[in-house]
Amino acid sequence: MPRRMKIKAAVISLPLLFPVVAHSQTQATAQQRTEEVTNATQAQGRNPIALDAVDRLRANIWGLTDEEMLRAKTLLEGPRKAFSVENLSPIEALGIHATSEAERRKYAEMFARAFHADVERSLAWNRAFTEAMARLYPNEPVVNFSQIPPVPATVGAADTLNVPRTAIIETPAPGYTPLTQGVPAQGTNK
């Protein structure tokens, strides 16, 4: 077995034998893989993954340095591409492939702040839309359920979605067993 394959086999077997050592080895290996992809593409005469103007704009929007964005782009074109949705953010890719707990926490906090800000914007938009509908169409509901034929649904689903119960044909919730099922009627003895 060639030396390189022996080393890879040893690295692969470490998680089974030494979990603590394997954890630190995995952290070091993640960064090495990113560097290996860049070095391999350069050695083969291909253009390495590089940042263009759009990437730099995305890095700026997400609050990332060029180096962080380059690593995220490499990850999103490599290992993450096989496991993630196409619109995974660079912060999520960096957080998933963090090389330390501190780095993971850093990216988690960055993503939490971005997510919080987006939720605030969405709620502000919804309030503005609701006010505009009330102002422009004061005597009309946003959705007129009277023209829609009733559909089978659970009461819980209708209530959660704020759909009038008159717009549904009540169906039992999955796994629901009525309390009266299997209970003898009053006045009968078993």
Residue 94 and residue 117: Cα distance in Å, rounded? 20
Model confidence band, residue 22 (pLDDT cutoffs 50, 70, 90): very low
| 52 vs 178, residue with greater confidence | 52
State the pLDDT at residue 21: 39
Q: Give 111's strand partners.
A: none
Give the tens place of pLDDT for each residue, 140-162. 888 887 788 888 888 888 888 88
State the pLDDT at residue 32: 60
What secondary structure does DSSP assign to 7-72, as a single string?
HHHHHHHHHHH-HHHHHHHHHHHHHHHHHHHHHHHHHTTPPPP---HHHHHHHHHHT--HHHHHHH
State the pLDDT at residue 132: 96
Give 81's DSSP letter: H
